[in-house]
Amino acid sequence: AQKVTQAQTEISVVEKEDVTLDCVYETRDTTYYLFWYKQPPSGELVFLIRRNSFDEQNEISGRYSWNFQKSTSSFNFTITASQVVDSAVYFCALTPPSYGKLTFGQGTILTVHP
Amino acid sequence: DTAVSQTPKYLVTQMGNDKSIKCEQNLGHDTMYWYKQDSKKFLKIMFSYNNKELIINETVPNRFSPKSPDKAHLNLHINSLELGDSAVYFCASSPRDGSYNEQFFGPGTRLTVL
């Protein structure tokens, strides 16, 4: 069985602060895929990043960066210099190798205050 | 030019009624999904179809019946609606039944059962 845990239910920061969203996963598969999705107040789900289990390189995209550590089964997400528009619910998710069944974490509500 | 569309966006109905939610994707994808997001924002997969064939059927009451007339459409029919069915239902699609591929989500349908 697969499981994703996002221990931080809610995070509140002031604009320009850096913030890290934690994600820990459990799986018995040796091959798997990890994702982050963003759900802004408007409600849609926006894909942010995909990572496979063999690629432990960290990734940076603008103010966003991701740290994948297989040894600790973690896939953390950092927003640098946060902005009000970053306010959203962020979901970490995991799929097995054979089919696209996304298992989501509980989500972290991020509020960025001006 | 919406990639994944759902109708209706909002659905308010009485307990015991039967209702349908429609989903269409114009991305040429082979695989489509239904997810349920409850009031606590928890997202869980319900069904998945690959080329009109059911491949994922989670533990969902049999009052829920997905139907895929062609690979661009996946509808969700719900019989005898209950209060607990109130949620946001998301349709998604991906290029093939492969866990590597990101899933593109529709805007969601907010179902309220009174």
Of B48, B105, B108, the CB nearest to A101: B48
Can you give the C-alpha Rg of chain B in angstroms? 13
Preceding omega of B8 cis (within 30 degrees of 0):
yes
Distance CA A21, CA A95 (A): 19
pLDDT of amino acid B53: 85
Which residues in chain A are closer than 8 Å to B105, comparing Cβ atoms?
Answer: 37, 44-45
Q: What is the pLDDT of residues A22-52, one digit of tens each?
A: 999 999 988 899 999 999 999 999 999 999 8
Q: What is the DSSP code (8-state) at residue A30? A: S
Q: How far is B14 from chain A (nearest CA, A)?
A: 24
Q: What is the pLDDT of residues B83-95, one digit of tens each?
A: 999 999 999 998 8
Element (H, E) at A96: none
The answer to whether B41 touches B90, Cβ cutoff 8 Å, is no
The answer to whether B89 touches B34, Cβ cutoff 8 Å, is yes
